[in-house]
Amino acid sequence: MKTSDFYYDLPQELIAQDPLKKRSDSRLMHLDRKTGQICHQHFTDILRWLHPGDCLVINDTKVIPARLFGRKEDTDAHIEILLLKRRDKDVWETLVKPGKKAKPGTKLIFGDGRLKGEVIDIVEEGNRLIRFTYEGIFEEILDSLGEMPLPPYITHKLEDKNRYQTVYAKHDGSAAAPTAGLHFTEELLEQVKAKGVSIAHVTLHVGLGTFRPVKVEDVTQHHMHSEFYVVEEEQARLINETKAAGGRIISVGTTSCRTLESAGDETGVVKAGSGWTDIFIYPGYRFKVIDGLITNFHLPESTLLMLVSALAGKDTIMKAYEEAVKERYRFFSFGDAMFID
């Protein structure tokens, strides 16, 4: 299986640069994975496809304003950092630009000096470990100094920070939004519940590796990035009870899907717990937990496109994407949605 098998032509103008005024106004492509049949609708029509007794699984991670602009203490040279992973209370693994200027011992100043940092080590892939010093609460300082780490294909400035958060975002820790969830409003979630569909929460902190291109031609040789997830006891019980009663598990986004498939055993029973997952789902994978997936339209040759191809079949997905381009759907993070069941 070659990475180039997952290539498709995407006109630049179909990459959504801004969120729509109303979250749920996006379009929805329904894809029947058994027949390959496609139906064009609006996102609020998701209610038509959800059945009483189903369980919708959402990822309640919250994106942190992880992009910081600062300067070197000794030379005043500008420096940009991206927080990737919290290693300790005040130590973060970061991506630094320009990296050459950030040797161990380099001292950094952010904003008016409320936040300072020192590079303490260089780790894999050239990432820097930075120890921060500050007075007060780190998250509050980050909130006032940091910017949202939008994906590289979005070049417009985001007017409202909250539009790159789901309405149910709760636990700080992501460097990117679980974007399938961006289509839901509070009102729509209430309508989902009113239909007799339960909603379970899991947490997976999305890393920037989600945008990392697959650089090897042989798909099986790709090394997946690892991300931290949590499945609470009560939520695992809700998911397992739904399955046992014959209901479907509908994952909102590839992040919820990867969490469930990591926490599920061979029989499809989800175990509560937390840990790091580097699960890589591509065609040939046998899904143990999920029955359906709400997702956005993904980048050519990406691991996410491989995941949806594993669920619906590569040819079916490539045909659906061809149709989406023809029908001028909006692509990627702020784009339209697809429901595969």
Average pLDDT over residues 250-269: 97
Q: What is the CATH number of the domain that holds 208?
A: 3.40.1780.10
Mean pLDDT of the chain: 95
Report the predicted TM-score, pTM, of the whole model to 2 decimal places.
0.92
Residue 117 lies in a domain: yes
Q: How many domains does the chain have?
A: 2
- Are residue 199 and residue 322 in the same domain, yes or no? yes
Residue 155 lies in a domain: no
- Are residue 15 and residue 88 in the same domain, yes or no? no
Average pLDDT over residues 191-214: 91
Residue 69 has pLDDT above 80, yes or no: yes
Average pLDDT over residues 133-153: 92
Residue 71 lies in a domain: yes
Residue 152 lies in a domain: no
- Are residue 83 and residue 52 in the same domain, yes or no? no
- Are residue 25 and residue 78 in the same domain, yes or no? no
Q: What is the CATH number of the domain that holds 101?
A: 2.40.10.240
Residue 210 has pLDDT above 80, yes or no: no
* Structure tokens belonging to residue 327: 């029908």
- Are residue 190 and residue 279 in the same domain, yes or no? yes
- Are residue 109 and residue 125 in the same domain, yes or no? yes
- Are residue 131 and residue 269 in the same domain, yes or no? no
pLDDT in the model for residue 125:
82
- Are residue 281 and residue 185 in the same domain, yes or no? yes
- Are residue 219 and residue 301 in the same domain, yes or no? yes
Residue 153 lies in a domain: no
Q: Could you count the other beta carbons within 10 Å of the beta carbon of residue 317?
A: 26
Which range is least confidently modeled, 66-75, 230-239, 319-328? Answer: 66-75
Q: What are the tens digits of pLDDT across the range 213-234?
A: 899 999 999 989 889 999 999 9
Which residue range is the domain that position 98 belongs to? 67-145
Average pLDDT over residues 311-330: 98
Residue 318 lies in a domain: yes
In this structure, the dihedral spanned by the alpha carbons of residues 296, 215, 280 and 12, taken in order and rounded to 10 degrees, is: 0
E strands, 158-300, are 171-174, 198-204, 227-231, 249-252, 273-277, 292-296
Closest CA to 292 of 87, 100, 30: 30
Segment (H or E) for 70: strand 67-72
In this structure, the dihedral spanned by the alpha carbons of residues 131, 135, 141 and 142, taken in order and rounded to 10 degrees, is: 10
Residue 212 has pLDDT above 80, yes or no: no
Average pLDDT over residues 235-259: 98
The domain boundary, picked from 92, 110, 145, lies at 145
Residue 95 lies in a domain: yes
- Are residue 311 and residue 236 in the same domain, yes or no? yes
Percent of the chain with pLDDT over 70: 100
Residue 26 lies in a domain: yes
Residue 77 has pLDDT above 80, yes or no: yes
- Are residue 304 and residue 189 in the same domain, yes or no? yes
- Are residue 218 and residue 246 in the same domain, yes or no? yes
Residue 24 has pLDDT above 80, yes or no: yes
pLDDT band (50, 70, 90) for residue 82: very high
